């Protein structure tokens, strides 16, 4: 038996586990997520998120603009939680990055992203194209939204 045969026979996960805060934000996004198209682009990503939640165990959703708290008294990152949330519900549009937040949390998100220009109205937020590089440095995005932003923003 060749070494490669042994290596390839070992089952491996196709992803690494993200920060628990990011996953808490993603869990909140999954609660309000509508159908995402195209299915071939989103299906595996959403399936992987559910797998990660099952792997970690109890993941408490963190609404956008809030920092998740854990049973051991530690507090997670509000930026990571927002990244998980936007990775699930965000949409790249000609104006920038669009996502909806609960109206009660819109001000929290605006405070968190102080210094960035936000267009916001009735629970809808758009990060304009010129602020997307700064947003991407603050907020960790994954999946199709991150890939689309990379294609759109980088020349």
**Predicted local distance difference test score (pLDDT) of residue 35:** 85
- Residue 155 pLDDT more than 80? no
Give per-residue pLDDT as tens, 61-106.
Answer: 999 999 888 766 667 899 999 999 999 999 999 999 999 999 999 9
- Residue 141 pLDDT more than 90? yes
Q: What is the pTM of this model?
A: 0.85
Q: Beta strands of 104-154 (E only): which ranges?
A: 119-121, 124-128
Omega prior to 38 cis, within 30 of 0: yes
Give per-residue pLDDT as tens, 19-61.
Answer: 889 999 999 999 998 888 888 889 999 999 999 888 888 888 9
- Contact by Cβ (8 Å): 56, 20: yes
Q: What are phi and psi of 75, to 5 degrees?
A: -115, 135
CA distance 36 to 52: 19
């Amino acid at each position: 038996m060749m070494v490669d045969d042994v290596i390839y026979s070992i089952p491996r996960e196709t992803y690494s586990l993200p920060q628990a805060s990011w996953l808490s934000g993603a869990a909140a996004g999954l609660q309000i997520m509508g159908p995402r198209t195209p299915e071939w682009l989103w299906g595996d990503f959403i399936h992987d998120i559910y797998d990660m939640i099952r792997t970690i165990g109890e993941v408490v959703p963190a609404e956008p603009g809030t920092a998740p708290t854990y049973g051991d008294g530690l507090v997670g990152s509000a930026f990571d939680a927002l990244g998980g949330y936007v990775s699930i519900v965000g949409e790249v549009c000609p104006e920038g990055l669009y996502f909806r937040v609960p109206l009660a949390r819109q001000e929290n998100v605006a405070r968190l992203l102080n210094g960035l220009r936000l267009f916001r109205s009735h629970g809808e937020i758009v990060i304009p194209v010129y602020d997307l590089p700064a947003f991407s440095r603050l907020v960790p995005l994954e999946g199709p939204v991150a890939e689309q932003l990379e294609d759109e923003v980088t020349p």
